[in-house]
């Protein structure tokens, strides 16, 4: 059996089970008098009829919503006469099918801007098949629905009397049972095949006994279903023993049906859920990275779906592996590019020394480290003497070679792990050291000044160029309030003193 049929039977079993439980529970606790029993039965039938009326209204609303989305409706408003006529024919055919499905429908009207585009009424032949016709339009119900197309509206009129008769006929209600129907003008007594006007007007909101044509009925309370009133009338001809016998038989039948429904539901549920469970487990394994195929059974109706799932899983595994490989490659490339970019961002392209940006970004971290460990740090600012005259005399290309020469000498001279050598800007350099000794720091700076003084720049086919440098340096223990800019300013002030004192000299302070 196909899954679709299994699902259909499962739903049918569920609905049957719900009805059985409701009816069985209703009658199992039966300990009332005959009048009370009949009153409850009348009230139940009354509610079923009202429920049918509500369902018909709901069906109208749902059908009108589907009309709102129906492409054929659009043809009604087409400017082309041929397509407009085609749309009218298609919609008219659909409405006639609704008349066949719902015998209580009387009239359907499509209108736009108060102009009727299509009006379909139940034919006299169809009316004859449902018995004597009562055509009092004031007893009909009207449902109107505005379509989303421009100013369009659909109106559906239905006959509640025909609906009540249809319910009595289809549900095999006892022929002696009657339904009281009151509209805005008249009162009727209805059976499955007949209607007759009566002069008795019910108004009680409680169960009551009434006599009509020498027959006694138990009338249920009136239920208002605008614009009508409804009540169910049950004949008292049935004896108490007959009713109790029927109820006992119904209880036994419903109990057996309940057991059967449970068994069928369990079997169908197992047949439906097992393949779905296998798919669920396979999908869970895929999430965990396990792409193992689902085992297939020869006579399994879900085999095509499982085979398709296995194929999809295999392809997904291939895609995942390829994507993972590409991600790893891209990650490696991106990491290398980021490292290269970071190096370029913090390195001076000419001298290959760290640049000022590196100093400003690293300084807070370095100062915090020195503060936590209460370490000393030396900061020196160094500036080449009369470097502008070299650029003016020999050009910037020679000036660049001089800067490279100074940088290479400095890199060879300041080689400790705690040394930071930075091109601060132009011909100005900054040198930082931490964790050392003050005298040794100053001595290393003075040694570099002398080294540069004795190391002229030698350029092929060019006279050698002598360079000197002025240095201002401080050495102190880093306190909590210390920051980079004030420390550099102190060293820069000492550098200015060295320049003012004649250049090519060092000024230190601790």
* Encoded tokens for 394: 């020999």
Of 37 and 209, more confident:
209
Write down the pLDDT at residue 132. Answer: 45
- 3: pLDDT strictly greater than 60: no
Biggest distance spanned by C-alpha atoms of the chain: 144
Q: Is the pTM of this model over 0.85?
A: no
- 302: pLDDT strictly greater than 90: no
For 127-181, write each residue's pLDDT tens digit: 544 444 455 565 576 667 676 655 667 777 777 777 777 777 777 677 777 887 7
Q: 317: which DSSP letter?
A: H
Q: How much is the average pLDDT of 297-315?
A: 67
Please write down the long-range contacts of 288-294, taking CB distance under 8 Å and 24 or more positions apart: 291/316, 291/317, 291/320
Write down the pLDDT at residue 461. Answer: 84
Distance between CA atoms of residues 504 and 12, nearest Å: 104
**pLDDT band with cut points at 50, 70 and 90 for residue 333:** low
Q: Which of 481, 480, 475 is nearest to 494 (CA)?
A: 475
Of 180 and 275, more confident:
180
Write down the pLDDT at residue 255. Answer: 72
CB 207 within 8 A of CB 42: yes
- 30: pLDDT strictly greater than 50: no
* Arithmetic mean of pLDDT over the chain: 75
- 277: pLDDT strictly greater than 50: yes
Cα dist from 53 to 89, 128, 171, 204, 378, whole Å: 29, 22, 15, 22, 96
Can you tell me which residue has the tokens 């302070």?
Answer: 509
**pLDDT band with cut points at 50, 70 and 90 for residue 125:** very low
Q: Is residue 279 classed exposed, middle or buried when 0-12, 13-18 and 19+ CB atoms within 10 A define those classes?
A: middle
Of 470 and 126, more confident:
470
Write down the pLDDT at residue 386. Answer: 93
């Amino acid at each position: 059996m196909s899954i679709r049929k299994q699902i259909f039977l499962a739903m049918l079993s569920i609905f049957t089970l719900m009805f059985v439980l409701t009816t069985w529970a209703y009658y199992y606790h039966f300990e009332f008098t005959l009048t009370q029993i009949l009153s409850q039965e009348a009230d139940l039938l009354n509610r079923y009829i009202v429920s049918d009326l509500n369902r018909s209204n709901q069906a109208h609303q749902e059908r009108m919503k589907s009309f709102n989305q129906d492409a054929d409706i659009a043809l009604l408003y087409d400017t082309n006469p041929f397509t407009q006529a085609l749309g009218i024919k298609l919609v008219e055919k659909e409405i006639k099918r609704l008349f066949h499905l719902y015998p209580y429908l009387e009239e359907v009207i499509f209108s736009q801007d108060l102009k009727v585009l299509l009006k379909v009424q139940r034919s006299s032949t169809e009316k004859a098949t449902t018995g004597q016709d009562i055509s009092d339009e004031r007893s009909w119900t009207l449902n109107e629905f505005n379509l989303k197309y421009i100013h369009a509206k659909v109106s559906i009129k239905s006959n509640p009397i025909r609906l009540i008769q249809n319910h009595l006929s289809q549900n095999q209600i006892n022929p002696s049972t009657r339904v009281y129907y009151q509209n805005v003008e008249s009162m009727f007594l209805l059976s499955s095949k007949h209607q007759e006007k009566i002069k008795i007007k019910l108004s009680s909101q409680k169960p009551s006994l009434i006599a009509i044509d020498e027959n006694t009925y138990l009338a249920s309370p009136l239920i208002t279903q605008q614009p009508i009133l409804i009540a169910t009338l049950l004949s008292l001809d049935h004896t108490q023993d007959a009713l109790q016998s029927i109820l006992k038989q119904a209880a036994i039948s419903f109990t057996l049906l309940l057991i059967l429904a449970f068994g069928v539901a369990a079997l169908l549920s197992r047949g439906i859920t097992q393949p779905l469970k296998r798919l669920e487990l396979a999908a869970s394994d895929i999430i965990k990275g396990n792409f193992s195929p689902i085992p297939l059974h020869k006579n399994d109706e879900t085999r095509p779906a499982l085979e398709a799932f296995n194929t999809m899983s295999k392809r997904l595994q291939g895609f995942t592996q390829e994507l993972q490989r590409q991600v790893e490659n891209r990650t490696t490339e991106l990491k290398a590019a980021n490292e290269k970019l970071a190096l370029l961002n913090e390195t001076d392209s000419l001298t290959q020394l760290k640049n000022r940006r590196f100093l400003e970004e690293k300084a807070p971290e370095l100062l915090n480290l020195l503060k936590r460990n209460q370490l000393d740090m030396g900061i020196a600012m160094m500036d080449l003497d009369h470097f502008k005259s070299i650029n003016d005399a020999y050009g910037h290309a020679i000036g660049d070679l001089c800067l490279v020469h100074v940088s290479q000498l400095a890199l060879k001279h300041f080689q400790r792990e705690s040394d930071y050598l930075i091109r601060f800007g132009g011909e100005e350099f900054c040198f930082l050291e931490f964790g050392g000794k003050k005298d040794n720091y100053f001595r290393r700076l003075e040694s570099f000044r002398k080294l540069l003084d004795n190391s002229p720049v030698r350029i092929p086919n060019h006279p050698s160029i002598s360079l000197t440098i002025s240095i201002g340096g401080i050495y102190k223990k880093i306190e909590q309030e210390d920051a980079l800019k004030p420390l550099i300013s102190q060293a820069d002030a000492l550098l200015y003193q060295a320049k003012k004192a004649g250049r090519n000299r060092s000024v230190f302070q601790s």
